[in-house]
Amino acid sequence: MSGAPLHSGPKPAVSPRLLETLAVASFFALLALYTARVIWDIDLFWHIAAGRDFVREGRIAHTDIFGALDPDRVWVSFQWGYEVLVHLLDQAGGLQLVRAVHTAVMLTAFALFYWGLRGRLRVGPIASFVLLALLVVLFEDRIRNRPHVFNLLGWAVMFPWLLRGPAALDRRSMLGAALTLGVWANLHAGGALLFLVAAATLPAGAVLARLLRSEDPAARAWPRAVIWWLCALLPALFSPGFVRGNIQAAVMLEGTEQAIGEWWPAWHFLAIATTAGHVVCGLAPSVVGALWLAVLARGVAARDRLRSVPAWVLLLGLALVVLSHRSVRFVYIAAFGAALLAPWLPRPLAPATWPPRLARGVGVLLAACLVVTSYRFNVTALHGDLPSALASALGPPLDARRFPLAQAAFLEQTGFHGTIFCQPNWGGYLLWRLHPGARVLADGRGNYPRALSDDLAALYDRDRLNAPSDGPAVEALYARYPTDILVHQHPAFPPGYTPDPSRWELLYSDARGTIWARLDSEGGRAFAAHVRELRSRAPAPADAPPR
């Protein structure tokens, strides 16, 4: 895709190159602010705990080291390299260093994306800036401290080879594919697998062009395309946990997909739309799908058996459309689809065929709208104003409002060892603070059966917790699972309901939640007795209320 020139006629006072540099540098200053977001995602903590266990044990776990229900239940991490990395970062510099490295990875990925467009694909400056701003908006929901930031980095490294097509693949691209996927598959095997699915369209398209006796250069390049894809595939296949981990992820998804909004299709953004960014994220895959249909129509309208539009373009475009539609996690892939399909649009839709001033004007307007959209979401919606956003970026790394800091501190101070009934949003943090001495019923991995997923969702339903008459059903739900204590945000029981004192003892309560010991559990009885003994020997901590 070639962008329109920035100027024509007499030489302007400010050179186009300087204007581009100022615009990109200013936008990356905003990106630094956006990506320095505080840690609020629930999954980072169990990732750190997993890395700590892998380093301590010297092996990658193949059974559930965290779950309170069944320690023999299969669990294979497909992100073990990331987990070891964040554990080492946490050891070296705490959560502040963990956040800084995630910020650096995202900024590097955005920079490589822009450089890939300008330097490797020779896309014009305005079009490149529009695509960069689009990628930022589509990725805004994924600006989190999680392993998927390496998926963005992997795509940013590899996408120019995808978009050039089979005929441009050479030995350098094969070496790059082997090295990139060899690392990527150990940081996030699921993301690497999705890329391999999309990349398979290049050899498939080249082979199809050969069978159709097309004059497309890809028809003669099919052996190179196949070798390139194998160079990417084989290092991934030999990476620890790649195959078993992806299978395990698919199994877990069957039980938890309905309860995890991140796995819902892209249109889910339209259902929750509170900002213009949500609308863009919800519509972008459909817009790129419409572009794909336009490109397909251009090929069908030709009389030379799709020679005007290479088969690999149609196949790759379809793959990118499907992946970006599949889940809100992958919406950002639509930006790569837009970069691929724009040069192949039929004449009325192709910006390169418009008058230069019109193309420049539309490009600048679109870029400005996307920058404003990104600002409103990442600054205005999240923080209110720019000073507050700066204070957040430069402040403590953790959003303490989302996690059971005091509950974990109480359990640490009292030496708890055992199993914990908790919701997934607290499970990972409790593992980070207490594992291996404690296991949890649920955490962000979703490695639990569908029945438990339904029960946990029921406890989030305020209609089940609004009257004392609902108490027995809630208490019976807790009793289904053999845990020692209950650590739960308010309300753990319906207001006004007093659980059976022969089965439950309140050990701790604050504004965030409570800790209850289960007296019908041997571990729960022993822990309650231990806490009573500690309180009898010393004054109660200032933040621990009387029983």
| CA dihedral for 419, 421, 424, 427, sign (positive or negative) | negative
342 and 369 part of one domain:
yes
Count: domains in the chain: 2
350 and 206 part of one domain:
yes
Given 360, 389, 418, the domain boundary residue is 389
383 and 440 part of one domain:
no
Would residue 545 count as lying in a domain? no
Range of the domain at 64: 16-25+41-389
Given 368, 389, 410, the domain boundary residue is 389
Residue 318 token pair: 């379809």
SS3 annotation, 150-210: HHHHHHHHHHHHHHHCHHHCCHHHHHHHHHHHHHHHHHCHHHHHHHHHHHCHHHHHHHHHH
User: For residues 60 and 536, what is the distance between their CA atoms, to the nearest angstrom?
Assistant: 43
238 and 114 part of one domain:
yes
Would residue 45 count as lying in a domain? yes
Q: With 0-12 CB in 10 A as exposed, 13-18 as middle and 19+ as buried, what is 86?
A: buried
Residues in the chain: 547
Long-range contacts made by residues 298-307, C-beta under 8 angstroms, separation at least 24?
Answer: 298/344, 298/345, 298/346, 301/346, 305/212, 305/214, 306/212, 306/214, 307/214, 307/215, 307/216
Determine the pLDDT at residue 457: 86
346 and 422 part of one domain:
no
Answer whether 430's CB lies under 8 Å from 410's CB.
no
Would residue 481 count as lying in a domain? yes
Reading the chain (547 residues) residue by residue, the pLDDT tens digits are 444 444 445 555 678 899 999 999 999 999 999 999 999 999 999 999 999 999 999 999 889 999 999 888 889 888 999 999 999 999 999 999 999 999 999 999 999 999 999 999 999 999 999 999 999 999 999 999 999 999 999 999 999 999 999 999 999 999 999 999 999 999 999 999 999 999 999 999 999 999 988 888 999 999 999 999 999 999 999 999 899 888 887 776 665 555 566 768 888 888 888 889 999 999 999 999 999 999 999 877 765 545 579 999 999 999 999 999 988 899 999 999 999 999 999 988 888 888 999 999 999 999 999 999 999 999 999 999 999 999 999 999 999 999 999 999 999 999 999 999 999 999 999 999 999 999 999 999 888 888 898 899 888 877 767 788 889 999 999 999 999 999 999 889 998 899 999 999 999 999 999 999 999 999 999 999 999 999 998 765 555 554 4
What is the β-pairing status of strands 485-489 and 418-421? parallel
320 and 416 part of one domain:
no
User: For residues 163 and 297, what is the distance between their CA atoms, to the nearest angstrom?
Assistant: 20
Determine the pLDDT at residue 260: 63
Determine the pLDDT at residue 304: 52
Would residue 34 count as lying in a domain? no
Answer whether 46's CB lies under 8 Å from 431's CB.
yes
426 and 304 part of one domain:
no
- pTM beyond 0.85: the answer is yes
Answer whether 411's CB lies under 8 Å from 54's CB.
no
Would residue 10 count as lying in a domain? no
175 and 303 part of one domain:
yes
Determine the pLDDT at residue 255: 56
167 and 73 part of one domain:
yes
374 and 426 part of one domain:
no
Q: With 0-12 CB in 10 A as exposed, 13-18 as middle and 19+ as buried, what is 98?
A: buried
C-alpha neighbours within 13 Å on the C-beta side of residue 217: 7
Given 339, 363, 389, the domain boundary residue is 389
Cis, peptide link before residue 541, omega less than 30° from 0: no
Would residue 435 count as lying in a domain? yes
Backbone angles phi, psi at 462, to 5 degrees: -60, -25
Determine the pLDDT at residue 4: 44
Helix (H) or strand (E) holding 379: none
Residue 520 token pair: 């019908």
Residue 473 token pair: 């059903």
Backbone angles phi, psi at 518, to 5 degrees: -90, 110
Q: With 0-12 CB in 10 A as exposed, 13-18 as middle and 19+ as buried, what is 238?
A: exposed
198 and 314 part of one domain:
yes
Would residue 193 count as lying in a domain? yes
